[in-house]
Amino acid sequence: MMTRKKIGIFGGTFDPVHYAHLILAREAREELGLEQLIFVPAAASPHKGSPAASAELRLSMLRAAIEGETAFAVDESELRRGPPSYTIDTVEEIQQREAGSEIFYLIGEDNVTALASWHCFERLQKMVRFIVLDRTGAQANHPYEVIHRKIDISATDIRNRIASGRSIHYLVPPKVEETIRRNNLYREPVK
C-alpha cells in the first residue's frame, strides 16, 4: 500500500518571520513526518490588522529565512489573490497541485479560539488536519494535536524592540535582520 505524501501548510503574516516560527516549523515537520512544509504569507488576515511591512518585504524575509532548507517552501498565492486571505482558497489551490496528499494546517495557539469563525470552516476541517503550534507551554483546551516548544519570541515584541532602538539579534535570522535594517522597517511602536 502506498502512503500519501504529507504536506504541512503554515500560514501567517510573518511580520517579521522569526526563529520561533522556524523552530516550530521544523519541530512539526519532524514530529509529523512531513515531506514538505509550505509557508504561506497572508496578504491581510481577516482576523488581524494590516501587516506593518509590505507583502514584498515579508516575502523577501521569509525566503531569506528558509534559504537552504530543502523541505521548506514559500507559496505566495495569498499575496497574488489579495486580501482578505482565506485559508480555504489556499488549501484548495495546494490540494489541486498536490493531489492525493494529506494536508496538515499549522496554526499558532493564539488562533485556536477564532478557528471556528474562519471562512468555510466546516468544509476546511474536512480537508486538513489542524495542528496547533504552542510556544507558551499552556495546557491545551481544544481537540487539536499540539506541537509544544516553549519559545518566548513574538513578532510584536520584535517590532517593539526595533521601534525602541533595541537589538533583535538572535531573534531573527541574520538575513531577515539585514532586510529589516536596510528597509527601515518597524520604526513605529506597536499599539
Distance CA 185, CA 159 (A): 8
Distance CA 158, CA 170 (A): 11
Q: What are the structural domain ranges in the chain?
A: 6-152
Q: Does domain 6-152 have CATH number 3.40.50.620?
A: yes
Residue ranges of the chain whose pLDDT lies below 70: 1-2, 45-49, 82, 190-191
The reported pLDDT for the residue numbered 170 is 96
For 60-85, the pLDDT digits (tens) are: 999 999 999 999 999 999 999 867 77
Q: Tell me if 85 sits within 8 A of 38, measured CB to CB.
A: no
Predicted structure pTM score: 0.91
For 130-156, the pLDDT digits (tens) are: 999 999 888 888 999 999 999 999 999
